[in-house]
Structure 1
């Protein structure tokens, strides 16, 4: 029945269990260490991240991003171990992102994981990036059986749990919401520091005019390429001005950011509400990098409140790609007896969320 929470299949531990998680599916390299204690508690021992930032107006290329991860891997892992106060010998397993993501960065981090596994004789656990986001969100917020809105640079999905799978109810038909926002940030030359999506959010707070843009939901799915094209076109029309002039019909970069955000987020709220109605859930968990956006959380909160529900979200430490989410999902899988054989450690850019057997949930 929807909303029913049964006991976890995870058996109690007779000793503490510690995992290192390595994440590098895009431009963020993360190493996190988590401990599941015999008393049932979960402790984040460290969560270190380094971001590859390109100049304004430029995206990040797979080859350059992979080189960044190779350059910083040892530094980030060493810092994570120091903050956790442990040695590599103390680990029970090493978890790494198997996919989805950008091929070259994924492979560079998987290579590091395989090397450490061989050097220290530690088992490997390959983790689905999205499942990592979900499990970290559930752990931090305490959400029991939520509808999950997964929004990031490479993924946009509405997800619900059923029979040991995370089922995809709806998703983007073309580009992800994070990609949409990032690409528009490049059009108007916003900085990539700390992230283009964050800077879009700050600009949108200054916007005063809501411009009409394409609103494309198709059942439980959304299409975002059309709204991006329309917003880009408005940037180069005669009505666009870098500063307000007072003339009728003029609009600013902030107005465009505001309009893009409002329209895209309204689409996401709509399909999330449909999923809530379908399974009778009263909880929404927002995960992924775009999940940090305060306006998205606010709009989702209004909808959830009207349905007698609530929204769960984490801050930038856990919603932006990080190593600790890979450690958490990997350690749950490890405790259920799962190991990734060395011959199966190749990464895949297309690793679907619903391919994962979520054995640790009832």
Structure 2
């Protein structure tokens, strides 16, 4: 069986389109194109929506061209149905619905979080049961599959780690997105005390960020960046280790935009090695939001008959902004 899927991503600051082919039980990414909206003061949904609407046609066209294919060769169209910023989700859903109706293709809705985990697992080569560390601007969760469905074993009790880092960067006039800037500054910093909060397998980042803000006039920005990373990533590492132990698993998959951070990768690599486990990291190119991950997850949903919409049902399809991975 061969399935070629066009995936469309639009949950937040990125409009992405990717083409993936599934054949012989293997996925091959033919293209992945992105147009990102990165204003200096953080994302505004209404402005991001305008950006996505403007960039959507060209991004989709480039993805198809780079893949060496056309809409006639596409078998299914997948899109991010949620979670995410509702106005941004609507842009991607509308584009996908129009293409599906015009070219008479099946439409498949994809959970954005599942897509991050699935592409990371596949590209990193994890072949057996695993615990996933999903860290991004909108999510921070420790998960694993139970009876074929993802279950959350630990998660942030307030803001996501990427959100906390971005907020600190904005308040410090470092720019947006803050993750790469903070990571660079942290390399030359030293540790100062910041709050640390892990309760069971859950963690909290809002208090850490707020406390760091209050220390801006007392400590160097490099020391604060270093300390924030140390405290936040240690909390994630502790939670991930507890879940690995609880489930008696030996594979850990790191995914999401914050997965690019080398300090986080090293902390998890040391922890897994000490436990006799193995760390699988998503390739940097596919850590952030992208259309290819939607296509991969879309093919899997199509085969499993999950969130699949026929031509008559497509006009009634709507996004689910607050969709959870465990629902």
Same topology, TM > 0.5: yes
Instruction: Pick one of 32, 38, 55 that aligns with 1:53.
Output: 38
The runs of at least 4 consecutive aligned structure 1 residues that moved more than 6 Å come to none
2:87 equivalent in structure 1: 104
Assess if the C-alpha contact under 8 Å between 2:144 and 2:152 holds in 1: yes
**Which residues in structure 2 correspond to 1:135-174 (within 5 Å)?**
135-143=118-126, 144-174=128-158
1:162-189 deviation line (CA, Å, top 9, x unaligned): 1010010011111000100000111111
Matches within 5 A, 1:194-205: 195-205=177-187
Aligned residue in 2 for 1:9: none
Measure the CA separation in 1 of the matches of 2:297 and 2:142. Answer: 19
Q: Which of 160, 172, 186 is the matching residue for 2:170?
A: 186
The correspondence of residues 37-116 of structure 1 with structure 2, limited to 5 A, is 37=23, 39-55=24-40, 58-116=41-99
**CA shift at 1:343, angstroms?**
5.2
Instruction: Identify which of 193, 197, 203 aligns with 1:212.
Output: 193
Tell me the alpha carbon deviations over residues 190-228 of structure 1, each in whole angstroms, 9 at most, x when there is no partner: 132xx3211111111111x21100101111111111111
Query: Which SS does the other structure have where 2:80 is aligned?
Result: strand
**Partner of residue 319, structure 2:** 347
Could you list the per-position Cα deviations for residues 101-147 of structure 1 after superposition, in whole angstroms to 9, with x for gaps in the alignment?
A: 11110111111111111111111100000100111011101112111
> Whole-Å Cα distance in 2 between the matches of residues 53 and 352 of structure 1?
25
Paired residue total: 322
- Matching residue within 274, 280, 302 for 2:270: 302
Residues 1:231 and 2:212 are matched in the alignment: yes
Question: Structure 2 CA distance, aligned partners of 1:347 and 1:154?
Answer: 17
Residues 98 and 345 of structure 1 are in contact (CA less than 8 Å); yes or no, is this contact kept in structure 2?
A: no
Q: How big is the shift at 1:67?
A: 0.7
Aligned counterparts of 1:164 and 1:140: Cα–Cα separation in 2: 20
Q: Map residues 274-289 of structure 1 onto 2, 5 A cutoff.
A: 274-289=242-257
TM-score (norm 2): 0.96
Unpaired segments ≥5 residues, structure 2: none
RMSD: 1.1
- What is the CA–CA distance in structure 2 between the aligned matches of 1:222 and 1:40, rounded to whole Å? 37
- SS of equivalent to 2:29: strand
